Amino acid sequence: MKIRPQEADALCAAPPATLRAILIYGADDGRVRELGRRAVTALVGDVNDPFRVAELTADTIKTDPARLADEMGAQSLIGGRRVVWLRDGHGSLTPSVTAALTAAGDAFLVIEGGALEARSSLRKLCEGHDQCAVIACYRDEAPDLDKLIREVVEAAGVTLEPAARQYLLATLGGDRAVSRGELEKLVLFAEPAGQLSFADVAGLVGDSDLVLLDDLIFAMADGAIDGLCRHLDRALAEGTGAVAILRAGQRHFQRLHLVAGLTAAGQPLDTAIRGLRPPVFFKKIKAFKRQARLWTDYHAMAALNRLNEAELACKTTGLPADTVCAQACLGIALRAQGQANGGSAGGAIGRRH
């Protein structure tokens, strides 16, 4: 059964006795891990308890398909309910999860998955099972980030200037663990009862992977080849994953596509952009307006499709993910240049892998 996002924290903090399993999945890996750990902690107290917690990976189950059901049926040597904590859950594990949910014993199953599609057999199994809760973890939007800011920053007695808060709302959100880490860093800098200005926050968070990704994606959508190559080289050299870059691009072009659709329907450009959540960071509004005029709904969707295809290629073809990512980003940047020059490079967005 599906759980509403606003109910996720409470459910994981105190899993109902009627449940036997929780599937937590989505593109926000940090949020998935956060909720998974919260559920395991609520059930056993100590996530490192070797007698009551069995951690398994998808590779383990692939090697030994019966292992999951065996762990679900095992009894704790010291008493108390056991938890089986399965990482990297995906569709190929569905038969093993099915067997585990019908196994004898009272162990609780916590499954952490990636960005499972609606047609995923694992999602369908868990959503249709009355003893399994399903929680989707998507990129934090402005209300979620505002709540996290209050929970981490303001609860520590630190206040934020309005411009500093807007900067955080526009910058953070791709990964809950990264966002929380950045906010905790700000608290340490400010100390209790301190105040953070825009300059403080921009200086401390400005070198984060999230800001680098933002600069990279804006350069790509602008057709700024030199800037794109520079940011891309740095991001890959610093360990940013190709899929993370592609997903950042997907989010950006989803917003451009939405604005294009609204303006095509007659809404003023400024109104459409102001309605975006999270809001466009005020220092990026000029560039975003320029891109919104450059990328029509058709072209924005073509770029979005190219990024989606590149992510799929990274996961399925065996080709070097960094190369696939770089080719996709460069192709879109060349398309932007072509559109700015009247469409002379219109074919550049096609596949290059």
Same domain, 217 and 178: no
Lowest mean pLDDT among 57-66, 82-91, 161-170, 335-344: 335-344
Q: What dihedral do alpha carbons 245, 233, 305, 243 form, nearest 10°? A: -30
Whole-number pLDDT of residue 351: 41
Whole-number pLDDT of residue 211: 63
Using the predicted structure, report yes or no on whether residue 38 has a pLDDT greater than 60.
Answer: yes
Same domain, 15 and 130: yes
Residue 210 pLDDT grade (very low, low, confident, very high; cuts 50, 70, 90): low
Same domain, 306 and 337: yes
CB-CB contact of 232 with 329 (8 Å): yes
And the tokens for 350?
A: 């096609």
Same domain, 57 and 92: yes
CB-CB contact of 319 with 272 (8 Å): no
Task: Give Cα separations from 67 to 25, 62, 108, 138 (angstroms).
Answer: 22, 9, 15, 30
Using the predicted structure, report yes or no on whether residue 143 has a pLDDT greater than 80.
Answer: no
Tell me the one-letter amino acid at 256: L
Tell me the average pLDDT across 100-125: 88
Residue with tokens 């800037």: 227
DSSP code for 280: P
Residue 89 sits at φ, ψ, to 5 deg, of -65, 135
Q: Distance between CA 254 and CA 300 in Å, rounded? A: 8
Instruction: Please provide the distance, in angstroms rounded to a whole number, between the alpha carbons at the two ends of the chain.
Output: 39
Residue % of the chain over a pLDDT of 90: 35
Lowest mean pLDDT among 51-60, 279-288, 341-350: 341-350
Q: Give the distance from CA 302 to its chain's centroid.
A: 22
Lowest mean pLDDT among 232-241, 256-265, 293-302, 308-317: 232-241
Domain boundary among 113, 136, 159: 136
Residue 209 pLDDT grade (very low, low, confident, very high; cuts 50, 70, 90): low
Domain boundary among 171, 205, 239: 205
Same domain, 192 and 154: yes
Q: Distance between CA 177 and CA 173 in Å, rounded? A: 9
Same domain, 112 and 124: yes
Q: Distance between CA 277 and CA 273 in Å, rounded? A: 9
CB-CB contact of 69 with 103 (8 Å): yes
Whole-number pLDDT of residue 283: 73
Average model confidence (pLDDT) for the chain?
85
Q: What dihedral do alpha carbons 92, 96, 98, 102 form, nearest 10°? A: -170
Same domain, 201 and 167: yes
Whole-number pLDDT of residue 174: 67
Same domain, 234 and 336: yes
If 0-12 CB within 10 Å is exposed, 13-18 middle and 19+ buried, where does residue 207 land?
Answer: exposed
Q: Distance between CA 94 and CA 119 in Å, rounded? A: 12
Whole-number pLDDT of residue 91: 82
Same domain, 220 and 335: yes
Domain that holds residue 187: 142-205
Using the predicted structure, report yes or no on whether residue 44 has a pLDDT greater than 70.
Answer: yes
Residue with tokens 């990976």: 57
Residue 353 pLDDT grade (very low, low, confident, very high; cuts 50, 70, 90): very low
Q: Distance between CA 336 and CA 80 in Å, rounded? A: 60
Q: What are 165-191's pLDDT values in tens digits? A: 888 887 777 678 778 888 998 998 887
Using the predicted structure, report yes or no on whether residue 352 has a pLDDT greater than 50.
Answer: no
Tell me the average pLDDT across 75-100: 87
DSSP code for 317: T
Characterize the bridge pairing of strands 83-89 and 53-56: parallel
Whole-number pLDDT of residue 135: 93
Tell me the average pLDDT across 138-147: 77
Q: Distance between CA 81 and CA 45 in Å, rounded? A: 11
Whole-number pLDDT of residue 14: 94
Using the predicted structure, report yes or no on whether residue 208 has a pLDDT greater than 90.
Answer: no
Q: Distance between CA 179 and CA 159 in Å, rounded? A: 17
And the tokens for 131?
A: 């003893």
The residue ranking higher by pLDDT, 204 or 37, is 37
Q: Is the peptide bond between 65 and the residue preceding it cis, with omega within 30 degrees of 0?
A: no
Same domain, 222 and 124: no
Tell me the one-letter amino acid at 245: I
Range from 21-30, 231-240, 299-308 that averages highest in pLDDT: 299-308
DSSP code for 281: P
